[in-house]
Chains A and B, each alone.
Chain A
Amino acid sequence: MTEVTYLEAIRQAMWEEMERDPRVILLGEDVGLYGGAFKVTAGFLEKFGKDRIIDTPISEEGYTGVAIGAAFNGLRPIVEFQFIDFIANAFNMITNFAAKSRYRWGAGVPIVMRGPSGGGVRAGPFHSQNPEMHFVHTPGIKVVAPATVADARGLMKAAIRDEDPVLYLEHKKLYRHVKASSADLESQEDVVPIGKAIVRRVGEDIAVVTYSAMLYVALEAAEILAKEGIELEVIDLRSLVPLDKELILASVRRVNKVMILHEDTRTGGMAGEIAAIVAEEAFDDLDGPIVRVTAPDTPVPYAAALEDAFIPRAEDVVRAARRLAAY
């Protein structure tokens, strides 16, 4: 039985979709000859040829624009950002063009924008960021952030088949750390629907809402807390836009205490948005304050000790959960 990594799942999903649909093309820096900075697209050029696997100059705004134009003309481009931090260069193209096109002209832009996000690999402030909220805040873009191998595969397929722009955030720390057996993967649905969260662990004391790599931090904390008699319910959002509000609220209504955990910085983060929804729609079901566990409002530090302090760890969740449980 072979093991499939998170990275391999992304590769497989793109490969299979390109085999299935000749309209799918791939653009980005070093995606062809070099096979991608993280080798996600190794072998693609040989298999699909240079008409479909396009090495671009360092020009994010340029090739994102090319992809949008190609999408208008019937193709379904996947745009790779070598590090998702560089998506900032294409901000105008994405937010003013891709995101608003359907609204303005009824013309969908079926592109997938993907790239490695997140920290924890000593890559410093330009190669470790979590830029999701710029795009969560922009109506017209779907945003997904898989945490598991099966979701990495299933959400990629859903993103490629979607008629609108999808930002697909891969967590680089998960690339080779998270594995699943190929048999397990085969038993999963091929496509994971965008907009559906999932409960990864059932508990009755505190609901922890999280996504991407922080899922594992939440699960680790849940193991520690279970020994103290505090049961965490862990919700993996999988999609940030559309947000699975119903699942979050159902959990809050049952568990009555909620914590939101993310690796992104605090102010204007996803946690604030979810906290507002819970306060508006489930106020009467709260038995304690809504708690956020997030990175602080600084750039991602380069120094190892600082980066460790910056990214939320299981012990941060444990501490906050103990306080909230006793509240």
Chain B
Amino acid sequence: MTDVIMPQMGESIAEGTVTKWHKKVGDRVERDEPLFEISTDKVDTEIPSPVSGILSEIRVGEGQTVPVNTVVGVIGDKVTKVTGTPPAVPRQAPSPSPAARPAAAPPTERGPRSSPLVRKMAREHAIDLLKLSGSGQGGRITKQDVLKQLESQRAPAVSTPSKAPVKAPAAVAAAPPQGRIEIAPMSGIRKSIAEHMVLSRRTSAHVTTVFEADVSRIVQARESLRRRFEKEDGVKLTYTPFFIRAVTSALKSFPALNASIEGDRILYRKDYNIGVAVALEGGLIVPVVHHADEKSFLGLARAVSDLAERARGKKLKPEEVQGGTFTVTNPGPYGSLFGTPIINQPQVAILGVGGIHKRPVVVNDAIAVRSMVYLALSFDHRLVDGALADQFMADVKRRLEGWDEKIL
């Protein structure tokens, strides 16, 4: 018997929703064959079966949200493992097979007294109401009990948990809506981004420093490489791999930028896993190029275009959105000069690459037309001081401006 679990789809992900089962109880499934689909804060994806066998039990039905690592189903090796199902007609019964029933919530067991709102909140946040003690009448679990639980779950991630946030925003939101308004529920990914952004703002002491770099050599290099990469290797070359390459090299000289803070310890990361922000409809996701420093330039370019493409197709694997040590984001495509990005926790820095534009600049006391870009680095001042951040950026700038084809 093999347990099928809700996979961890990213560091900050605590839960996932089973959106679809591709197999019914009693169905045969091959290893790596799509078994079910899930939706999490970060990705919607198909989960392949970990082994070949017979799906003998579904414990988490479609539409249910459960914490990661929850057993959602069980795969056995024989259909006979399905207790109580007559072997002769394992698949025909259109009604749920008897085996599936007891696995779902036993109808006799009643949860603690609560309210429709509390049950909804418990579903949304995967809270086990049995573990809460109620402060309402007769031990009833109230909204306040759930809010307190949510806060205590969140507290360890933040060094100074404040009680204020629960009440304060309510007062702000309290003004009655005026005028013509359409109200829509937030999608999972939207809620996740909202939560993560505010958490990051609250966690890190954000400072942004802006540099300007002459990337004319890179523009030329890309022009000359683009067709070759596309023709010979089928890789679409963007500017992103160039920036990742420069950043990765610079990070090796400035380990504090490739680190994270855990309590009062500093974790210097020895892997150079660079996250690349990819805009999606209604959200964004940050797939990670693992070991960016160990890849050839072609390998890097291939990894970036492959991850971006699969991010848009919702085909990323869980490990591909995990483990980042530094992030590159690109606010340039729509004409932004530069932005002040928010750090992707638990990292300590993020580089925002603005749009590349030709500008008149002074070179050797003459005015020349050069391809220029603004680079904005947001860093966590808890760990990184301004001088260090600027030295790092000067290094990145030097590597970009002195781009050398030989390093390919």
B is bound to A: yes
Chain A residues with CB under 8 Å of chain B are 198-199, 202-204, 233, 247, 250-251, 254, 256, 283-288, 326-327
The answer for the CA separation of A204 and B171 in the assembled complex, in Å, is 8
B224 at the interface (CB under 8 A from A): no
Given A284-B116, A287-B115, are A254 and B137 neighbors across the interface (CB < 8 Å)? no
Contact among A251, A254, A326 with B170 in the assembled complex (CB-CB below 8 Å):
A254
Asked if B231 CB lies within 8 Å of chain A CBs, one says: no
CB distance from B42 to the nearest CB of A (A): 25
In the bound complex, residues from chain A placing their C-beta under 8 Å from that of B175 are 202
A203: B residues at CB distance < 8 A: 174
Q: Which residues of A contact B119 (CB under 8 A)?
A: 284
Evaluate whether A198 and B116 lie within 8 angstroms (CB atoms) in the complex, with A204-B170, A287-B143, A327-B142 already known. no
Q: A233 CA to B142 CA in the complex, in Å?
A: 19
- Count of B residues near A, CB < 8 Å? 20
* Cβ of B176 under 8 Å from chain A: yes
For the complex, give the distance between the alpha carbons of A168 and B173 in Å.
33
Does B299 sit within 8 A of A, measured CB to CB?
no
Which residues of the partner chain A approach B137 to less than 8 Å between Cβ atoms?
326-327
User: Who on chain A is nearest to B143 by CB?
Assistant: A287
The contact sample of 25 A-B pairs, CB cut-off 8 A, is: A202-B174, A202-B175, A204-B167, A204-B171, A204-B174, A233-B174, A247-B177, A250-B177, A254-B170, A254-B174, A283-B116, A284-B119, A284-B120, A285-B117, A285-B120, A286-B116, A287-B116, A287-B117, A287-B118, A287-B142, A287-B143, A288-B115, A288-B142, A326-B136, A327-B142
* B-chain residues with CB within 8 Å of residue A251 when the two chains form the complex: 176
Residue B140, interface by CB 8 Å: yes
What CA separation (Å) do A233 and B176 show in the bound complex?
11
| Other A-B pairs, 11, CB within 8 Å; known A284-B117, A287-B117 | A199-B176, A202-B175, A203-B174, A204-B167, A204-B174, A251-B176, A284-B119, A286-B115, A287-B118, A288-B142, A327-B142
B residues 81-122 touching A (CB-CB < 8 Å) = 115-120
In the assembly, what is the distance between CA of A327 and CA of B139, in Å?
9
Q: Which residue of A lies closest to B142 (CB)?
A: A287
The 0/1 profile, CB within 8 Å of A marked 1, for residues 136-152 of chain B is: 11001011000000000
Question: Are B176 and A250 in contact, CB atoms less than 8 angstroms apart?
Answer: yes
A283 to B117, CA, bound (A): 8
Residues of B whose CB lies within 8 Å of any CB of A are 115-120, 136-137, 140, 142-143, 167, 170-171, 173-177, 183
A202's contact among B117, B143, B171, B177, by CB below 8 Å, is which? B171
Expressed in whole angstroms, the Cα–Cα distance for A198 and B117 within the complex equals: 25
Q: How far is the CA of A205 from the CA of B137 in the complex (A)?
A: 16
Please indicate which of the listed interface residues A254, A286, A287 has the most CB atoms of chain B within 10 Å of its own CB.
A287
Collect the chain B residues with CB atoms within 8 Å of residue A327's CB.
136-137, 140, 142
Residue B143 contacts which of A198, A250, A256 (CB distance < 8 angstroms)? A256
CA distance A215 to B182 in the complex (A): 29
A204 to B169, CA, bound (A): 11
Min CB gap B140→A, angstroms:
7
Docked CA distance A258–B117 (Å): 13
B334 nearest CB across to chain A (Å): 34
* Least distance between A146 CB and chain B CB atoms (Å): 18
What's the Cα separation between A199 and B142 when bound, in Å? 25
CB distance from B357 to the nearest CB of A (A): 46
CB neighbours of A198 from chain B (8 A): 176
Q: In whole angstroms, how far apart are the Cα atoms of A144 and B171 in the complex?
A: 30
CA distance A251 to B176 in the complex (A): 8
Q: Which residues of B contact A254 (CB under 8 A)?
A: 170, 173-174
Q: Which residues of B contact A285 (CB under 8 A)?
A: 116-117, 120
Name which residue of chain A comes closest to B144, CB basis: A287
Closest CB of chain A to B296's CB: distance in Å?
54
B171: chain A residues within 8 A (beta carbon): 202, 204
Nearest 5 CB-CB pairings of A with B: A202-B174, A287-B117, A199-B176, A287-B143, A287-B115
Complex CA gap A291/B73 in Å reads: 43
Residues of A within 8 A of B183 (CB): 250
Residues of chain B within 8 A (CB-CB) of A256 are: 117, 143
Q: How long is the Cα–Cα vector from A247 to B177 in the complex, in angstroms?
A: 8
Q: Distance (Å) between the CB of B129 and the closest chain A CB? A: 13
